[in-house]
Structure 1
Amino acid sequence: MDLWIPITIAAAFAQNLRFMLQKTLKGRLSTLGVTFSRFVYAAPLAWVVVAGLLMQPGVDWPGLTPRALAFGAVGAVAQIVATALVVTLFSLRNFAVGIAFSKTETVMTALLSAAILAEPVTGGAWVAILVTVAGVLLMSGLPSRGNLTGGMLSRAAGIGIASGAIFAMASIGYRGASLSLAQGDFLIRAAVTLALVTTFQTVLMAVWLAFREPGEIGRVIGAWRIAAWVGLTGMLGSLGWFSAFTLMNAAYVKALGQIELVFTVLASVFFFRERITRAEAAGIVLVAGGIILLVLIG
């Protein structure tokens, strides 16, 4: 089995844990405060990982390049903007439509990979990607509400598609940044890229919160007992994503990463005692089938 496959699955699992922890913080912090907790606690941990790797024999600083910094900055800003768009969806009556359409991120990633990084996916991989996207849409319950066709022209759908495209740009930015470093194996490249990106995002969000939500940074620091775990799981998940992006076309990674939705449904059943619907069960089957096909092709 190629190394990027278990790394991606582990990253998706860690990200699901982070979402569960962030859900417990939502009542204590604002939406941006919860988002900020991910970066402010993850950045120092990422630098600890970098320092630990550099202490190993034969591991050197990978060497920054202007191209790597440019790709990293684009990815960092894109992730923040896309997250803000998703937050905007929560205030709309038909936000579920937008959330569902934001899951077209995988398709967007495949298109942008070909356009920007000259890394097209194969015909079989396109089939696998579209199967996983169909599974995600089914799990969202969108078709059963009859909103799939009519909702395509709504504001929520437009915002959802835009967020998916910008999230895809973030993935492309991270892969481009990691590959543009001067030297090093995939792990040190991923760790350095992650450390730089999360530090940049921490500074940007700290400035924004200082002006727009005075006192929120203090509340994030005060919630360290949970927020620190958000940072740890976020750092581990991001390190996995960045490592997988370094090893494989971002489109394949994001398609396999849809397994996160399966983890989310299972968590809702076993931890939050919520019942799984038939649509969710069918969606899980489609996502799993698409992932198996992708792995076999990959």
Structure 2
Amino acid sequence: MTTSLLWIPVTLAAAAAQTGRNATQRRLTETIGTVGATQVRFLYGFPFALLALAVMNLVTGEVVPGPNATFLAYALTGAVTQILATALMLAAMRERAFSVVTAYTKTEPVQVALFGLVLLGDHLTLAMALAIAVATSGVLLMSVKPGTSLTSSGAKPVVFGLASGAFFALAAIGFRGAILSLDQGSPLIRASTTLVWGLGLQTVILMIWLGLLDRKALVASFKAWRPSLGAGFLGALASQFWFIGFALTTAANVRTLALVEVLMAQAVSHRFLAQATTRRELAGMLLILAGVGLLLLAQR
């Protein structure tokens, strides 16, 4: 496999780790609240990111690149928008409209492509645009149950879901911009450096926020350190792969291929929750696979 295609297995690994992280983090929402569960992802992921960067520095001998003004602006944008996106996603899930939330948050690839084109000048071909549209339509089809619509759960999950997708898109663009703005280093070391800065900023922001406005949730997140540690590790692992993907190709490519996470979540539900797959869901899966296939063909 050429270096230019390494983003494909990297993205698949990120999607798998994130599937596990989401399940763990969703359970924490029920015990320590939305903001507390959001903070767990960053607070407990930060040490793992630091350890990964230290190991890479030791093994490769590469110098960790220092930040510049452009890097800090992009990293801060990515950090803040990812916090908002995660909080909105978890809040929408608490409305008990998981399928609707999934549908709207997974409009992210469309928004990533538009933001990437405008803010970073990332190239978007007709084939890539078609792939994004087909894969996203598959997610929407999977999320609409017979006799219902995407708006049947009320306005709040719709608004939260769309806003979450938009902020996730801006976070992806912010972190890719930060990675590209570093002056030196391989894609791996630049991605890992950006991850450490991103998680560090997010940890500080949320610690201050919770310390001032919700100390109960802050204390609860420390008490729930055992499950939080697992969520933090999986979150850091997923983010490590996401950032490497962003260093190797456009955010639109990474986030479109990442829609296979929907298929992974469906497989988990089928295997462990004994949920049968309907014809509608199967048709949606085929559309996702078709969109991903088109995307991979467009890379040639």
- After TM superposition, the score normalised by the length of structure 1 is 0.92
Matched residues in 2 for 1:227 and 1:93: separation?
Answer: 22
CA contact (8 A) 2:26 2:90 kept: no
The C-alpha deviation readout for 1:4-59, integer Å capped at 9, x for no partner, is 00000000000001112223333332122222111111101111111111112441
The C-alpha deviation readout for 1:73-123, integer Å capped at 9, x for no partner, is 001101111223334434668785454223211101001111010112110
Q: Secondary structure at the match of 2:275?
A: coil
CA contact (8 A) 1:111 1:120 kept: no
CA contact (8 A) 1:175 1:242 kept: yes
CA contact (8 A) 1:92 1:156 kept: yes
In the alignment, does 2:56 pair up with 1:85? no
CA contact (8 A) 1:175 1:246 kept: yes
CA contact (8 A) 1:89 1:99 kept: no
1:196-215 equivalences in 2 (<5 Å): 196-215=197-216
The range that moved more, 221-230 or 173-182, is 221-230
Matched residues in 2 for 1:139 and 1:196: separation?
Answer: 36
The range that moved more, 89-98 or 269-278, is 89-98
- Percent same amino acid at aligned positions? 39
Matched residues in 2 for 1:271 and 1:26: separation?
Answer: 21
The C-alpha deviation readout for 1:112-162, integer Å capped at 9, x for no partner, is 1110101121101111111110111011126x44525x67x9454344323
In the alignment, does 2:15 pair up with 1:5? no
Q: In structure 1, what is the equivalent of residue 32 of structure 2?
A: 29
Q: In structure 2, what is the equivalent of residue 44 of structure 1?
A: 47
Q: Number of aligned pairs?
A: 296
Q: In structure 1, what is the equivalent of residue 78 of structure 2?
A: 75
C-alpha change, 1:4 and 1:57, in structure 2 (3 Å) is closer
Q: Secondary structure at the match of 1:273?
A: coil
1:85-104 equivalences in 2 (<5 Å): 85-90=88-93, 97=100, 99-104=102-107
Matched residues in 1 for 2:92 and 2:224: separation?
Answer: 26
Matched residues in 2 for 1:102 and 1:238: separation?
Answer: 17
The code of the aligned residue for 1:24 comes to: R
1:136-215 equivalences in 2 (<5 Å): 136-141=139-144, 144-148=146-150, 154=155, 156-215=157-216
Q: 1:61 aligns with which of 60, 64, 75?
A: 64
The C-alpha deviation readout for 1:137-196, integer Å capped at 9, x for no partner, is 011126x44525x67x94543443232222111000000001111100111111110011
CA contact (8 A) 2:34 2:91 kept: no
Matched residues in 2 for 1:94 and 1:215: separation?
Answer: 27
CA contact (8 A) 1:128 1:293 kept: yes
The code of the aligned residue for 1:173 comes to: G
Which segments of 5 or more consecutive residues in structure 1 lack a partner in the other structure?
none
The range that moved more, 105-114 or 22-31, is 22-31
C-alpha change, 1:229 and 1:158, in structure 2 (3 Å) is closer
C-alpha change, 1:86 and 1:175, in structure 2 (3 Å) is same
In the alignment, does 2:225 pair up with 1:224? yes
Matched residues in 2 for 1:262 and 1:243: separation?
Answer: 22
Matched residues in 1 for 2:50 and 2:161: separation?
Answer: 33
Q: In structure 1, what is the equivalent of residue 242 of structure 2?
A: 241
Matched residues in 1 for 2:34 and 2:155: separation?
Answer: 24
